Structures are given as C-alpha cells and as structure tokens.
A and B are shown apart, each in its own frame.
Chain A
Amino acid sequence: MFQYLGKRIGTFLTQLGQITLLAGHACRHIVLRPHVGQVFEQMYRLGVKSLPITTVTALFIGLAFALQVVQEFLKFGAGKMIGGIVALALWRELGPLLTAVVVAGRVGAAIAAELGTMKVTEQVEALEAMGQDPVRYLVAPRLAASTLMMPLLVGWADVVGFFGGFIIAIGSGRVNPYMYFESAQAMLHVKDIMGGLVKGVFFGFFIALISAYMGLSAKSGAKGVGEVTTRAVVVSLIVIFVLNYFLSTALFT
C-alpha cells in the first residue's frame, strides 16, 4: 500500500520535473529562436478555429446566466444592476473558465492526439533525423500560440456572453437597454478586464504545455494515443479549475 503510494508519488514528481524541463526548453525557443511560420500556423489552427465553438458557448452561457439574474434581480427591484452583474461574472469567472474548458477539450485533445500520433508513427524521430528539434518545431509554437490566442478568445467570449445577457435583459421588457450598459460601465473595472485576460494567458499556457507533454509521452499503438489524449484533457481541466481558484484569489480579492 505504502509502496504503491510511494511509487505513484515518485512517478508524479518525475513527470512534474519533466514538464517543467519541457516548459523551460520550449520557452527558451520561443524567446531565442522561434519558428515563426509554425507559430502563425498554430495561432490559426488553435485560436482562430476555436472561434465558432467559443462563440456558441459564450452566447448560451450569457443567455442562461442572464436569465437567472434578470428573474431574481427584478424581484428585488435591482434591475439597474443587471448589466453590471452579468459583466462582472463574465469577465472575472465565466468567460475565462468556460473558454478554457472548451479550449481544453478542442485544442488540448488536438495537440495531444496530433503529437501522440507523430510520436508513435516515428514522425517525431523523422523530424530529429532532419536536424529539427521537436521541442522547437512542435511544442514551442503550440505553446506560444495557445498562450497568445487564449486571452483573445476569452475577451471575445466575454463580449459575446455580455451580448447574450443583453438579449435576455431587453427581452424581459423590464430592463432599460441604456441602463444595462451603464451599470456594466460603472461596475466593471479595468482590473476585472485585465484579470480575466491574465487568467486566459495562464490557461492557454498550461493547456498547451500539458497536452504537448502527454502527446510526446505516447507509447506505440492507437490505444497509447487515445489514452494520452484523454489524460491531456482530464489533467488540463483539473489544473484549470485549481488554478482558477488561486488566480481569482490573487487577482480579485
């Protein structure tokens, strides 16, 4: 029992060390010798192509959240605050968190599956054989692209979600459309906006890092790729939720 536990902790610490090394190695390449072409390609594939799913998710989150807020706040005659509450909730928590969840599912799985397949079909070795460093060519661009694009997606999700809330608010017929924006302007501070984007930066970085690490650790066979893909998403999600709590504590209290 203790032996088993000890072994698991040992494995965990080893992996943590390897991930840290991978992060260091990749960051060095991003700063010193980035593969610009790959960075742009990944920004498109990981970022731009995540726009539709982010938009739909954010819109419906905005709709659903506003539905509750509008109902309850009107009961207390606090209709004037609805815009502000929706904006705060979105920018601080819902936007970053839900975008990260969606991106972890789409981008994290894509990175892990792609790198995993490349690993088990000797493509990673082929890269090395042709004088390329796989960390520079594969990991660093994905890490850079995800870290850059994630805050943009978060910002977009916030705007779309806020618009969703607006639809519900005026749909109720009892909220003044001007008040919706005005209260948001009054209650939402630069600190909240920046805080949400900072969360996006962290989430983007960790989703790509964890998924790339998992992908490159794939062992031969399709089962290996499937396994690391699942693990990439699960671990990313856990890290996102835990990290989100600490970031909220640090940024908004």
Chain B
Amino acid sequence: MIELRNVSKSFDGRMVLHDVNLTIQTGERIAIIGTSGCGKSTLLRLIMGLHAPDAGEVLIFGEDIHRVSHARLLKIRLKIGILFQSAALFDSMNVAANVAFPLIENFNIPAARVIDRVAQKLELVEMSGFGEHDPADLSGGQRKRIGLARALSGDPEVMLYDEPTTGLDPILSTNIEDLIVRLSRQLKVTSIVVTHQISTILRTADKIYMMHNGTLLEPESPETIMTATSIYGEFIRGGLS
C-alpha cells in the first residue's frame, strides 16, 4: 500500500506539488493525468524517494521512506519498479546487461537464471533478440520497452510507469497496456501510470486522478471520464485552456 499525506514540493522557491494526498491499495491500478510540467514525474520520484518532500509523508508498505535510513530506503526500493519517462537506460551497457542489472546487483541469482529471466522479460516487451544491441542504437519506443523490461526484471510489487506508451504504435501500445493489466491481475502488482494517451488511461486504470494546480483532484472512473462535465472531461476532450 502506498500513501501520500499532505505532500508538498517546490523547486527553487516555485511550488510544484501542494498538499497532495493519495492512497493506493495493493493491486490497485491508477492513472495520473495532467498538463505538461504540472508535476507528475515529480510525484513518481517522491514515491521512489528520489526527491525528498518539503512537507508531508510518503508511506510505502507502512514505512515513511523519507524518515528511514538510506540503507533501508535502498531495500524498500527493490520492491518498486520504475519506468522513467526518458527510459534512462545505461548507455555504457548493452540491452541484456541493462535488464540484468537489478538482478545481478541486488539479488543473488545464478548466471543461468539471470539469462533466462532477461530473455523472459525481453519477450514480455516484444524485444527478444535485442539483447546484444546498444541502447544508443534503439528507437525511442524500443528504449521505452527495454526500460520497462528492466523495471520488471526484479519482479516488483509496485510499478510506476511514466508515459509507458508514448512513442509506440497503436498495436504495441495496446500490448503494453495489456501487459500492465495482466501484471496487476496475475501478480497483484500495484501500478501508477502517468500518461497522456487516452487509450492507456481508459484501458489500464481503475481510477483516474488529475493533477491540477499542484494537487490531485477527486478521482474519476474510466467509464464516466469521457462524458464527465468536470475539468476531467474538458482535459480529456482537449478543451482545457
């Protein structure tokens, strides 16, 4: 379970998040939408403990990750996978080494099993056979999928997806959306999906939150959001000024 209590964060004196409250139950899937630059990626970083909040608490499995020791924080992070908006692949390593990285560094897994696991995750994101490639030689969408495979390689209990389907064609997009849903159905993976893509919002989330003026609005459901008269409807239909 993830809980944010009255979380605020500013950069250089400019408030980005203001008094954000959010509770996510185990296995739940939520989507976060909002205008570019409103603080969605910042929210994911706070949950990962990569930024410290100026005020408030971030509870992951009941622990306030900004109060625990650094060593403990590193341990907690192992249960969370994050797909960065930019994919953030290590360009000093090939694709297979990227996907294997969390396994090799964090878990004592024999080499043969690491190879199996890497192949399995690459297949999941439809990138089999790309293990020997350098990240620099991949397209944006391919990098994204490798980033996803890497985030999933440690079998996390929580997944944070920052724009998982941006840059993918409609078919791949659908497959990744299915993957997100499947992970949560089969493995109870809790997921937070930040996205601008309407199909992804509708197909992956049980609840949709909109970030507006630094806070999260009351959530909408995918069934009603398209016809909602609230700010959600306006945003989704492109009418928000």
Within 8 A of A (CB), among B66-108: 70, 74-75, 77-78, 80, 82, 84-86, 88-92, 101-102, 105-106
Closest 4 pairs (CB-CB, A-B):
A122-B88, A126-B88, A131-B74, A130-B102
A132 closest partner in B (C-beta): B105
Q: Could you show 15 A-B contacts with beta carbons less than 8 Å apart? A: A121-B86, A121-B88, A121-B91, A122-B88, A123-B89, A125-B45, A125-B50, A125-B84, A126-B90, A128-B50, A129-B82, A130-B78, A130-B101, A130-B102, A132-B105
Determine the chain A residues whose CB is within 8 A of the CB of B75 once the complex forms. 131
- Asked whether A72 is an interface residue with its Cβ less than 8 Å from the other chain, the reply is no
Taking residues whose C-beta sits less than 8 angstroms from the other chain, chain B's interface range is: 20 to 34
Expressed in whole angstroms, the Cα–Cα distance for A137 and B90 within the complex equals 13
Instruction: Indicate whether B48 reaches chain A with its CB closer than 8 angstroms.
Output: yes
Asked if residues A131 and B50 are in contact (CB atoms below 8 Å), the reply is: no
User: In the complex, are the beta carbons of A131 and B102 less than 8 A apart?
Assistant: yes
Interface string of A103-124 (1 = CB under 8 A from B): 0000000000010011001110
* Nearest A residue (CB) for B77: A131
Q: In the complex, are the beta carbons of A131 and B106 less than 8 A apart?
A: yes
> Interface 1/0s, chain A 131-174, versus B by CB < 8 A?
11100010000000000000000000000000000000000000
Complex: how many Å from CA A125 to CA B101? 14
Asked if A126 and B105 sit within 8 Å, CB to CB, the answer is: no
Residue from the list B50, B70, B89, B92 in contact with A129, Cβ < 8 A: B50
The answer to whether B78 and A131 have CB atoms under 8 Å apart is yes
Contacts of A129 in B (CB 8 A): 48, 50, 77, 80, 82, 84
A121–B78 Cα gap in the complex (Å)? 21
Do residues A133 and B84 form an inter-chain contact, with CB atoms below 8 A? no
B162 (CB) vs chain A CBs: closest residue? A122
- List, in ascending order, chain B residues with CB within 8 A of A123's CB: 88-91
Closest to A128 in B: B50
Taking Cβ atoms with an 8 Å cutoff, the residues of A that contact B are: 114, 117-118, 121-123, 125-126, 128-133, 137
Please state if B77 and A133 are interface contacts (CB–CB under 8 Å): no
User: Would you give the shortest CB distance from B229 to chain A, in whole angstroms?
Assistant: 38
CB-CB under 8 A for A126 and B70, given A131-B77, A131-B105: no
Q: How far is the CA of A123 from the CA of B90 in the complex (A)?
A: 6
- Give A21 Cβ to nearest chain B Cβ, in Å: 13
- Cα-based distance from A121 to B86 in the complex (angstroms): 7
Docked complex Cα distance between A118 and B90 (Å): 8
Find the B residue at minimum CB distance from A114. B92
Question: B86: shortest Cβ distance to chain A, in Å?
Answer: 5
Alpha-carbon gap, A122 to B135, bound state (A): 14
Contact B88 A125 (CB under 8 A): yes
* Residue in chain A with minimal CB distance to B153: A130
Residue of A nearest to B81 (CB): A129
Q: How far is the CA of A125 from the CA of B106 in the complex (A)?
A: 16
Q: Are A130 and B50 in contact (CB under 8 A)?
A: no
In the bound complex, CA of A133 to CA of B101 (Å): 14
B90 CB contacts on chain A under 8 angstroms = 118, 123, 126
- Complexed CA–CA distance, A197 and B126 (Å): 53
Do residues A130 and B105 form an inter-chain contact, with CB atoms below 8 A? yes
A167 to B84, CA, bound (A): 58
Q: Are A122 and B86 also in contact (CB < 8 A) when A130-B105, A131-B102, A133-B70 are?
A: yes
B22-48 vs A, Cβ < 8 Å mask (1 yes, 0 no): 000000000000000000000001001
Encode B186-201 as 1/0 by CB contact (under 8 A) with A: 0000000000000000
Once bound together, how far apart are the Cα atoms of A122 and B151, in whole Å?
14
A132 to B84, CA, bound (A): 16
A122, B154: Cα distance in complex, Å = 19
The docked-state distance in angstroms from the alpha carbon of A118 to that of B88 is 8
Shortest distance between the CB of B4 and any CB in chain A (Å): 18
Contact of B106 among A118, A121, A128, A130 (CB under 8 A): A130
Contacts of B105 in A (CB 8 A): 130-132, 137
Q: A122-B85, A125-B50, A130-B101 are in contact. List 7 more A-B contacts (CB 8 A).
A: A123-B90, A125-B88, A126-B88, A129-B48, A130-B106, A131-B105, A137-B105
A131 — which chain B residues lie within 8 A by C-beta?
74-75, 77-78, 102, 105-106
